[in-house]
Structures are given as C-alpha cells and as structure tokens.
Amino acid sequence: MLVLVRHGETEGNAAGQLLGRAESPLTARGRSDAAELSGALGPVFRLVSSPLGRARQTAEALGLAPPVEVDERWIEVDYGELEGRALRDVPAELWARWRADPSFTPSGGESLAAVGDRVRSACVELFARPGEGARADADVVVVSHVSPIKAAVAWALGGGDAMVWRLYLATASITRIGWGSDGPVLHRYNETLSAERAR
C-alpha cells in the first residue's frame, strides 16, 4: 500500500497563508497530530519525505523504524510571488485563471501540471518498485503536502491535473492507494484523527 501522509498543521496553515516552498514550523497541534498518526499505520517498509522541514518533522514524529528517505518530487507546489499571502489577498482574476488552467504558472512559481508530472513520476516508480525485498503486507509511507498528495490521487483515479481543485485534504491526514494488479486503486482518502475517533 502507498500511504500518503500530509504534514501536521504549521504556523502558516493556522494563519491561512499559501504555504509552498517557505519553511514554517509545526504548531503544537501539528506535532501532536503527527505523533498520533503512527497508530493508524501498519507495518512500514519504506518512509519517504518531502525535503521541507514540516514534512520531515512529521516523518520523524511518526516514530517509524525505517530511515527517512528524502525525495524532491514530493515537495509542495512553488507559489512564486503568491507565497505567504492569505488566500483572500490573491486577486480574484489571478485565482480564477489558475483554477481554469493547470498549466498556468504564477510569477516565479510552478504550475499544477508541473507538480502532476513530477508526482506521477514518483508514483510510477514506487508502484513498479516499492523497494527491494518489500513484504506484501508492508506499506510505503510518503510524507508530503496538499498539492502533491492531490496529484497522486488524480494519478490513481486516472484524472487530469484540474481534478485537484475538487479535492479537500486536511493537515495530518492519511490517503491510501493500493498496488492493484492492473494499476493503482484508491482505498481511502483524507482519513483524519477526528474521523478515526468517531468510529
């Protein structure tokens, strides 16, 4: 199983900012939620992380046995000049253009199509080779960000890059994609601690 974990809440998330490549530490809630996520994970064969600090902090907080492998392809989208802005401060026409065109690139940033390309590459590689000597019942855990995880779900469902706008993903959430015989299979999406506690 490919298990995608979104990092815990950060100071930037709590402030409602567009948080791409900038570093923002986990809040106390983010650290606590990340530590609790380990209880929702089964046997883990590999642990992969985005290079950004909030993802690596979350990966370490999981307390898993495998060492953390950093893969640049799982880094968050680059918001360019929009980095750090509150969503309400982004000009409406700019936001509408971005939503309408996955190839749109904000000044100094990255398009959602580019995110989709690099994430698909990472997913195909993991799907083909989960790891040398991987057990059938062991998971590959990837700790990443909202945009790459949504891109991975779009890949699993055979959808286009624009699909990400129709998905909501909470911080400290888990998404599970199975290794189907004919391709990826989405098992669960956006599992959160609150949802688990309600069961």
Determine the 3-state secondary structure of 27 from DSSP: coil
Token pair 């309600």 is found at 198
**Residue 60 annotated to the active site:** no
Instruction: Give me the catalytic one of 9, 76, 110, 191.
Output: 76
For the packed helices 53-61 and 28-37, what is the interaxial angle rounded to 10 degrees? 50
DSSP H or E segment with residue 13: helix 11-14
Kindly give the residue spans of alpha helices, DSSP state H, lying in 44-131: 53-61, 92-100, 112-128
CB–CB of 106/98 below 8 Å?
A: yes
Strand partners, 71: none
Catalytic status, residue 191: no
- Could you give the residue numbers annotated as active site? 7, 76
